[in-house]
Amino acid sequence: MDLGHTTGKTQAAGGDLVLADLHAHAFELIRPTQQRVPFVFASPHSGRLYPQSFIASSGLSALSLRRSEDAFVDQLFNSAAALGAPMIAARFPRAYLDVNRAPTELDPSIFDGPLTLPAEPASTRVHAGLGVIPRIVRDGAEIYRQKLPAREAEERITRLYRPYHDALARLIDETHKWFGTAILIDCHSMPSAAAVPDIVLGDRYGMSAAHALMRRAEREFEQHGFSVARNAPYAGGYTTHLHGRPMLGTHALQIEINRALYLDEERIAPLPKFGDVRGRIAEALRGLTTIETMLLRTNSGRTMPWAAE
């Protein structure tokens, strides 16, 4: 499997066409003909365009690199536009750049010189190897064979990270202006495990979204055959932390779906029941997006830590 062929291009002499494509179009934005609901959907980890230079710098197989993906989550939630909501999806892979991290969550130890960007190497996620530029894939394997040029940090943050977050912020701001409130649904998948339910909803323990939104999401997914847990083991990551401001009329809810429901995790390929799962998610989202905005009351409470996803 050659991930660089995902775009139908190969690396040209002296240049990486896949990376050039990503620099030109860091994300995919799907808008409805008319936005009818105050929802914005985001898929930060489903990107599957792997720069040839990245593959060459890694000692891992193409399949190992893909294990960090929230594979096909953008397709699982692609009913957003039909429901009248925009959806943004990163095109670059999570193993290359994780936009659900703060831009300062950089590990200086993986670079060959001093960084020009502020860094927080003491971050728990950075220490674990899962910073904004990850050192490991999700199974713990080291990504790089040698240190990266220091310029890589600024290039990835400037050319990919900031365009994605700027576009997401604009979508949320536009939605808030049009509807008087905005609801971000951050879409993810989680590795399968015997004790993990079908769906984990994360609102940072009530800090990033109104309680009514959490209750409605829980009810809708349960009504369509999913088992649901709240905030454990995933309470919400950087994106929900950044945009979840219920007292200001902006709500952020993270949704994690168990990969065992739809994905062959060894081959990184959709299971035959993928279409059924996608259809049930679409119906749950249809019910969720009809929530009356007057029910989205503000929350109060102490600040809670945010989790890895």
Which of 80-84, 135-139, 243-247 is predicted with the least confidence, judged by mean pLDDT?
Answer: 135-139
Average pLDDT over residues 150-157: 97
Q: Is the pLDDT of residue 113 over 80?
A: yes
pTM of structure: 0.92
- The predicted-structure confidence for 222-233, as pLDDT tens digits, reads as follows 999 999 999 999
Mean pLDDT of 28-32: 98
Mean pLDDT of the chain: 92
Range of the domain at 40: 3-55+62-94+147-295
- How many C-beta atoms lie closer than 10 Å to residue 205's C-beta? 19
Q: What is the CATH number of the domain that holds 156?
A: 3.40.630.40
Percent of the chain beyond pLDDT 70?
91
Confidence at residue 138, expressed as pLDDT on a 0 to 100 scale = 82
What DSSP string runs through 224-280?
Answer: TT--EEESSS----HHHHHH-BGGGTEEEEEEEEEGGGTEETTTTEE-TTHHHHHHH
Q: Is the pLDDT of residue 6 over 70?
A: no
Does 129 reside within a domain?
A: no
* Rounded CA separation 243/246 (Å): 9
Question: Is the residue at 24 inside a domain?
Answer: yes
Sequence-distant (6+) residues with CB within 8 A of 174 are none
In a domain, 115, yes or no: no
* pLDDT at 14 > cutoff 50: no
Q: Which residue has the higher pLDDT, 13 or 54?
A: 54
* 95 pLDDT higher than 50: yes
pLDDT of residue 13: 34
Per the domain annotation, does 116 fall within a domain? no
Asked whether 135 and 107 are in contact (CB, 8 A), the reply is yes
pLDDT of residue 139: 83
pLDDT at res. 32 = 97
Helices (H), the chain: 17-24, 52-57, 62-66, 73-76, 124-127, 151-156, 162-179, 211-223, 238-243, 274-288
Any domain includes 255: yes
Alpha carbons 162 and 8: distance in angstroms, whole number: 26
- Alpha-carbon gap, residue 283 to 224, rounded angstroms: 7
CA 292, 165, 100: angle at the middle one, nearest 5?
Answer: 85
Task: Answer whether residue 4 shows pLDDT above 90.
Answer: no
Q: How would residue 309 be classed by pLDDT, with cut points 50, 70 and 90?
A: low
Query: Per-residue confidence at 12, pLDDT binned at 50, 70, 90?
Result: very low
Residue 261 has pLDDT above 90, yes or no: yes
Q: Is the pLDDT of residue 96 over 90?
A: yes
pLDDT at 307 exceeding the cut of 90:
no
Q: What is the pLDDT of residues 40-67, one digit of tens each?
A: 999 999 999 999 999 999 999 989 999 9
Distance CA 181, CA 296 (A): 9
Averaged pLDDT, 273-285: 98
Q: Tell me if 121 is assigned to some domain.
A: no
pLDDT-derived band at 122 (thresholds 50, 70, 90) equals: confident
Omega before 44 within 30 of 0, i.e. cis:
no
**Domain for residue 303, yes or no?**
no
Residue among 220, 223, 230 nearest 197 (CA): 230
Residue 195 pLDDT: 73
pLDDT digits (tens, 9 = 90+) for 202-222: 999 999 999 999 999 999 999
Residue 295 or 91, more confident: 91
Predicted pLDDT of residue 298 = 56
pLDDT given for residue 41 in this prediction: 98
**Total number of domains constituting the chain:** 1
Pairing state between β 250-258 and 228-230: unpaired
